[in-house]
Structure 1
Amino acid sequence: MGQVLRHEVLSVLLENSANFLSGEEISKRVGVSRAAIWKHIKELRNEGYEIEAKPRKGYRLIYRPDRVATEEIQNELSTKLFGQQIRYEPVAKSTQILAHQWARAGAPEGSLVIADEQQAGKGRLGRVWYSPPKTGIWMSLILRPPIPIQQASHLTLLASVGVSSAIINQTNLPIKIKWPNDLLLQGKKICGILTELRGDQDKIEYIVLGMGINVNQQSDHFPSELKEVATSLAVQGKQSYSRASLIAEVMKELEYYYLLYLEQGFEPIRNRWESLSDLIGKKITAKTPQAKVVGVAESLSSDGSLMVRSGKELITIYSADIDKE
């Protein structure tokens, strides 16, 4: 209960950050005593917020730390659906695990799980995703799309388009997509996307869309085995970024492309994906479970697979580790 009230106090301060608000006014809006307001303001200061206090004027928020708590994100949101319900954990084993639990319990579409730190973040093919505290965005979005289960792969590609567009909007950095869903910056991984679904026969019960974005890590934050293959927005952009603002932008862009997909199908998603691709028109080596394919990546098929021209043959790649030549 105390945390909920503290969130409400912060929301009031965020909404009125240009002006002083009296303790009496805040107490009216939140519905607690002025003594309780003082207690919550003290706790917010302990979390890194700078709150100016002046006699006969009241309180004014003058500095916000880079937090991804619920009230910080919802203050930035412009969506109708995505991110309207948020569960925030300072530390979690994995946001994917929490999102699956919430989805099975009936969480509505667009519900979002966020952690400031993951102890066992999940990547594709069972790999571990490096998720240090208070630097990146580690989150999972619950979807309940009314589509056949055979089209679920479209959502992975849609996610890479939405997240790429959001990062570009916020940073102006040249994000590229490596098939199917890694986001690259100057050839290094900036974001991973993991799509997991639960369904029965042809029906999707729900999809959990996991996203890990390297935002404010510095070069020395990465383990030695990752320094050559991973980077962050802060390293490449030479500045730090508001994680809450970026999350809100990701929710906006994902919601836009998701609703576009439900209305118009995969074609506009495919066109946008190809325009952001790091592979189309490039010579690649695709290591599939069955063989190694060397050729030129030509296009994305209607089912989301990668079409590769090898000599005179056009080969369909469904799953592979891919390297550019």
Structure 2
Amino acid sequence: MDYQLERKILTFKEVESTQKIARHFLHQGKAVHGLVIQAASQTGGIGQKNRSWYSPLGGLWLSVILLKELPLSYFSGFSIRIGLSIIAELEKKLPLNFKLKWPNDLILAGKKVGGILTDLHSKGDFLQHLVLGIGINVNNEISSFPLEIRNQAISIKDLLEKKPVSLIEIRENVLNAIDIVLESFQKQPIRNLASLWNRRSLTFNQPVNFLFNNKIFRGIEKGITPIGELKLKIDDKIKSFSTGRIISHG
């Protein structure tokens, strides 16, 4: 079975959210596997847990629809696999060193350069559809970002002597990365996901403050489980988390 994206790409100048447009196509029955919704800017970009995502001109803002009827077990740790694949593809083209921060942040020079959002719907034990949202600061002017996030964000251009980067090339790198993960479904499952994560994690073996159920836990990141859960050493015990987020480290 061919799982590769069809890569029908619809581009918009400005939208509220590419995720919302993708959901609209799904609800109207007009979506195909691999439909890509891309916008030059978003006025209401969506991040993890429905937090707002600032997405002005200069960045790559897109949503990809996956429609293959696949076992849900294939999607364990999916956003981490996508993140690992994206940064590997970007590093083939760019002289940069990317990291990941659990669960879905792309990191450059210790700052957030992008993020991944997965909106999965199932029917029984199989995928019904998945909308994969990806946002990357590419040519953005970080100095124009809201003050509350300005010091935490970075763009690819910032580390390339302010030279503009082709958004089309970055988009193709991202879509290639998704295809690589989808193609892996036809082969042996990834057995070294945890070791790949350890090499790429921003906070591996470092102390972190972790927000879970409105409580902050202090622990040492000890990697991930085979299904992508975060492992923290707290009071000499290893605890695994499937939700929550790292709010600070070090």
Q: TM-score, normalised by structure 2?
A: 0.90
- Tell me how far apart the structure 2 counterparts of residues 280 and 150 of structure 1 sit (CA, whole Å): 26
- Tell me how far apart the structure 2 counterparts of residues 295 and 247 of structure 1 sit (CA, whole Å): 36
Equivalent position of 2:249 in the other structure: 324
Which of 106, 111, 115 does residue 192 from structure 1 map onto? 115
- Tell me how far apart the structure 2 counterparts of residues 83 and 220 of structure 1 sit (CA, whole Å): 37
**Bigger helix fraction:** 1
In the TM superposition, what are the counterparts of 1:116-155 in structure 2 within 5 Å? 116-133=40-57, 135-149=58-72, 152-155=75-78
Q: Would you say how many aligned residue pairs link Structure 1 and Structure 2?
A: 246
Equivalent position of 1:302 in the other structure: 226
- Tell me how far apart the structure 2 counterparts of residues 304 and 86 of structure 1 sit (CA, whole Å): 30
Which of 191, 203, 220 does residue 267 from structure 1 map onto? 191
Q: Which amino acid aligns with 2:36?
A: L
CA displacement at 1:167 relative to structure 2: 2.3
Equivalent position of 2:36 in the other structure: 112
Indicate whether 1:183 and 2:89 are aligned: no
Q: TM-score, normalised by structure 1?
A: 0.70
Tell whether the 8 Å contact from 1:190 to 1:233 is kept in structure 2 after alignment.
yes
**Structure 2 alignment gaps of length 5 or more:** none
Tell whether the 8 Å contact from 1:161 to 1:269 is kept in structure 2 after alignment.
no
Q: Which amino acid aligns with 1:210?
A: G
Indicate whether 1:84 and 2:7 are aligned: yes
Q: Which deviates more from structure 2 when the two are superposed, residues 262-271 or residues 224-233?
A: 262-271
Give SS of 2:7's match: coil
Runs of 4+ more than 4 Å apart: none
Which of 313, 316, 320 does residue 237 from structure 2 map onto? 313
Tell whether the 8 Å contact from 2:116 to 2:135 is kept in structure 1 after alignment.
yes
Give SS of 2:23's match: helix
Equivalent position of 1:98 in the other structure: 21
- Decide whether aligned partners of structure 1 residues 264 and 271 sit closer, same or farther in structure 2, where only a CA change above 3 A counts: farther
**Bigger strand fraction:** 2
Indicate whether 1:229 and 2:140 are aligned: no
- Tell me how far apart the structure 2 counterparts of residues 187 and 211 of structure 1 sit (CA, whole Å): 19
**Structure 1 alignment gaps of length 5 or more:** 1-79
Q: What is the aligned-residue RMSD (CA, Å)?
A: 2.1
Tell whether the 8 Å contact from 1:111 to 1:141 is kept in structure 2 after alignment.
yes
- Tell me how far apart the structure 2 counterparts of residues 106 and 182 of structure 1 sit (CA, whole Å): 30
Equivalent position of 2:216 in the other structure: 292
CA displacement at 1:146 relative to structure 2: 4.2
Tell whether the 8 Å contact from 2:138 to 2:165 is kept in structure 1 after alignment.
yes
1:245-282 Cα offsets, whole Å, 9 max, x none, are: 11111111221122114422242444433321112222
Question: Structure with the greater relative contact order (CA < 8 A, sep ≥ 6): 1 or 2?
Answer: 2
Tell whether the 8 Å contact from 1:257 to 1:269 is kept in structure 2 after alignment.
no
Greater Rg by CA: 1
CA displacement at 1:316 relative to structure 2: 0.7
